[in-house]
């Protein structure tokens, strides 16, 4: 099939590349000239496991093209996906100006029937806004479908290739059939396509993200109580997750959730609720717990160095909001590091992929190094923010020898406290006794 994807970020680039991999011809459109120029040269703007090779292969085969020319994309496709960003506005609502601007752009150049599909996460009801804008500018026939994306950064290619489900929000049977045809290569064993109306499709995306974030916040709040009572949150997690009605996913306590989706999507849901006079009590609590959890972790470290913060150097492992991505948007690491910098602490950090994006987010106020052990030299403590695989089994003797005073603050509960204690290291983790 001939496809156009508008907005070539984490979602757009993965979507276009995976669709090209299935044999479709895809035109990728973005208004960021530098990004398009880089992509044409084979420079992939994001880190996502498995993506680079796939982009290069499909570009070489002529199935992926990169352009800033929306008209070219619209002319050469049947289905046009909108995958531009929908960041938070200052009032917590979702800023859909990029969506509306793309809708206008499509309306200005559409000359024959097209299916327009939104992949971006958009406030419930946006489907009607997009349809109205296009209809106000053109009489060319089109159909609209809400097709929210559920991929996870760090496993995005895998998720797209083997999705848990695909949500198709349209009441039109012929559009349903076309979308089913497009997605059938990704569900060979069994169809996991759910058809529904566009409004329910938009709502489903917010419901999923809020539910996942709720599980994290629930565990984080419990971890605080565990610390007070001397219980071990890791044992509680295992006991809880083994209940088949509950399941074990998304029950890891930590320094709080971040990223480009959970924080902004929950803010948007709360905002939509207030617009319609429905107080989203649970979603609000999820947000509050998450902010408190990040603050608590930062304060724990600041209190440890109380009175001498300005003389302390912290070695930091992990800047990305989670492993296997270079994305630092709303990363708890960035939140906490800003607090440390406010107290004149020095930061030496290592992240396998996110150093550049973190340096940009922090205006270069930290030092980043290429090796996790190098940041430890002469530092007063090691602070862990991200659960990268390579941090899971480090040489504790080297850590103890390199730090001025051997102490670890672990925001991800990566280690067995007894193992760390045996290496002579003071170990602070989440929801477990300090050893
Ligand atoms: N990142 C994720 O893990 C994820 C997962 C599921 C859904 N989503 C949703 O998908 C959407 C995109 O997220 P993302 O993380 O890929 O964003 P992103 O910021 O990485 O990418 C957005 C892209 O859109 C481009 N763009 C903006 N305005 C444009 C315009 N008018 N014309 C053409 N291009 C334009 C930007 O240059 C950028 O390349 C958001 O609504 C997000 O909530 C994201």
pLDDT tens profile 88-98? 999 999 999 99
Find out whether the beta carbon of 151 lies less than 6 Å from any atom of ligand 1. yes
- In order, the DSSP letters of 73-116 are HHHT-SEEEE----PBPTTSSB--HHHHHHHHHHHHH--S-EEE
E strand intervals along 157-304: 166-169, 193-196
CA of 7 to the centre of ligand 1 (A): 6
Contacts of residue 58, defined as CB under 8 A and 6 or more positions apart, other chains included, come to 17, 20, 21, 26, 64
Gap between the Cα atoms of 56 and 71, Å rounded: 24
pLDDT at 175 (0 to 100): 98
Task: Give the DSSP H/E element, type plus range, for residue 177.
Answer: helix 173-183
Q: pLDDT at residue 188 above 90?
A: no
Q: What is the pTM of this model?
A: 0.95
Q: In 187-261, which ranges are continuous DSSP H helix?
A: 198-229, 233-241
Task: Pull the structure tokens for residue 352.
Answer: 């396998």
Gap between the Cα atoms of 23 and 185, Å rounded: 9
Looking at ligand 1, which residue's alpha carbon is closest to its atom 7?
149
pLDDT at 3 (0 to 100): 98
Looking at ligand 1, which residue's alpha carbon is closest to its atom 36?
7
Q: Is 23 helix (H, G, I), strand (E, B) or coil?
A: coil
Task: Pull the structure tokens for residue 209.
Answer: 């993200």
Listed residue (317, 296, 309, 306) closest to 410, CA to CA? 317
Looking at ligand 1, which residue's alpha carbon is closest to its atom 37?
32
Listed residue (294, 288, 251) closest to 411, CA to CA? 294
CA of 260 to the centre of ligand 1 (A): 9
Gap between the Cα atoms of 422 and 435, Å rounded: 10
What phi-psi label fits residue 191: left (phi over 0), alpha (psi between -120 and 50 degrees) or beta?
Answer: beta
The pair phi, psi for residue 129, each rounded to 5°, is -60, -45
Listed residue (17, 31, 11, 29) closest to 64, CA to CA? 17
Find out whether the beta carbon of 21 lies less than 6 Å from any atom of ligand 1. no
Task: Pull the structure tokens for residue 44.
Answer: 């992939």
pLDDT tens profile 372-408? 999 999 999 999 999 999 999 999 999 999 999 999 9
Q: Is 352 helix (H, G, I), strand (E, B) or coil?
A: coil
Gap between the Cα atoms of 188 and 199, Å rounded: 28
CA of 149 to the centre of ligand 1 (A): 11
pLDDT at 162 (0 to 100): 95
Specify whether the CB–CB gap between 106 and 136 falls below 8 A. no
pLDDT at 342 (0 to 100): 98
pLDDT tens profile 334-376? 999 999 999 999 999 999 999 999 999 999 999 999 999 999 9
Gap between the Cα atoms of 81 and 307, Å rounded: 54
127 given a catalytic annotation: no
Q: pLDDT at residue 143 above 90?
A: yes
Closest ligand 1 atom number to CA of residue 102? 31
Options 18, 261, 336, 356, the catalytic residue = 261
Task: Pull the structure tokens for residue 429.
Answer: 């983790």
Q: pLDDT at residue 23 above 90?
A: yes
Q: If pLDDT is split at 50, 70 and 90, which confidence band does 191 have?
A: confident
Average pLDDT, the chain: 97
pLDDT tens profile 214-262? 999 999 999 999 999 999 999 999 999 999 999 999 999 999 999 999 9
Q: pLDDT at residue 189 above 90?
A: no
Gap between the Cα atoms of 251 and 219, Å rounded: 6
Closest ligand 1 atom number to CA of residue 265? 43
Q: For the beta carbon of residue 246, count every other beta carbon within 10 angstroms.
A: 12
Q: If pLDDT is split at 50, 70 and 90, which confidence band does 174 have?
A: very high
10-21 mean pLDDT: 98
What phi-psi label fits residue 62: left (phi over 0), alpha (psi between -120 and 50 degrees) or beta?
Answer: left
Q: If pLDDT is split at 50, 70 and 90, which confidence band does 171 have?
A: very high
Q: In whole angstroms, how far apart are CA 91 and each of 88, 95, 125, 275, 371?
A: 8, 10, 18, 12, 40
Between vectors from CA 196 to CA 192 and to CA 197, what angle results, nearest 5°?
Answer: 155
Gap between the Cα atoms of 91 and 282, Å rounded: 19
pLDDT at 190 (0 to 100): 84
Q: If pLDDT is split at 50, 70 and 90, which confidence band does 211 have?
A: very high
Q: pLDDT at residue 425 above 90?
A: yes
Find out whether the beta carbon of 7 lies less than 6 Å from any atom of ligand 1. yes
Specify whether the CB–CB gap between 205 and 124 falls below 8 A. no
Mutating to test ligand 1, I would choose from 5, 12, 118 the residue with most ligand atoms within 8 A of its C-beta, which is 12
Give the DSSP letter of residue 35: H
């Amino acid at each position: 099939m001939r496809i156009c994807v508008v907005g070539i970020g984490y979602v757009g680039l993965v979507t276009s590349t995976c669709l090209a991999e299935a044999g479709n011809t895809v035109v990728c459109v973005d208004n960021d000239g530098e990004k398009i120029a880089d992509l044409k040269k084979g420079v992939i703007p994001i880190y996502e496991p498995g993506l680079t090779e796939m982009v290069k292969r499909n570009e070489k085969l002529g199935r992926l093209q990169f352009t800033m020319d929306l008209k070219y994309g619209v002319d050469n496709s049947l289905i046009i996906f909108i995958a531009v960003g929908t960041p938070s506005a200052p009032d917590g609502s979702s800023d859909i100006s990029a969506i509306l601007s793309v809708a206008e752009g499509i309306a200005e150049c559409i000359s024959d029937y097209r299916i327009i599909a939104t992949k971006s996460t958009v406030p419930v009801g946006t489907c009607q806004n997009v349809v109205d804008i296009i209809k106000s500018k053109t009489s060319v026939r089109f159909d609209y479908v809400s097709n929210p994306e559920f991929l996870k950064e760090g496993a995005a290619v895998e998720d797209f290739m083997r999705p848990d489900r695909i949500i198709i929000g349209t009441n039109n049977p012929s559009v349903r059939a076309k979308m089913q045809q497009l997605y059938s290569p990704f569900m060979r064993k069994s169809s996991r396509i759910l058809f529904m109306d566009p409004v329910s499709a938009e709502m489903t995306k917010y419901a999923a993200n809020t539910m996942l974030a709720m599980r994290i916040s629930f565990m984080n709040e419990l971890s605080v109580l565990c610390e007070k009572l001397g219980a071990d949150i890791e044992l509680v997690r295992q006991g809880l997750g083994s209940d088949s009605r509950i399941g074990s996913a998304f029950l890891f306590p930590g320094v709080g959730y971040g990223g480009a989706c959970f924080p902004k999507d929950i803010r948007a849901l709360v905002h939509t609720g207030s617009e319609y006079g429905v107080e989203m009590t649970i979603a609000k609590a999820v947000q509050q717990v998450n902010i408190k959890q990040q603050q608590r972790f930062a304060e724990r470290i600041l209190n440890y160095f109380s009175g001498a913060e300005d003389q302390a150097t912290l070695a930091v492992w992990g800047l990305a909001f989670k492993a296997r991505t270079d994305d630092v948007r709303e990363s708890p690491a960035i939140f906490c590091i800003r607090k440390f910098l406010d107290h004149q602490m020095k930061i030496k950090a290592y992240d396998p992929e996110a150093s550049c994006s973190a340096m940009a987010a922090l205006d270069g106020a930290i030092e980043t190094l290429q090796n996790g052990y190098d940041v430890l030299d002469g530092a007063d403590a090691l602070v862990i923010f991200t659960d990268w695989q390579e941090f899971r089994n480090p040489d504790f003797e080297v850590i103890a020898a390199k730090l001025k005073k051997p102490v670890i603050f672990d925001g991800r509960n990566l280690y067995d406290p007894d193992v760390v204690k045996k290496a002579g290291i003071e170990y602070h983790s989440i929801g477990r006794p300090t050893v």
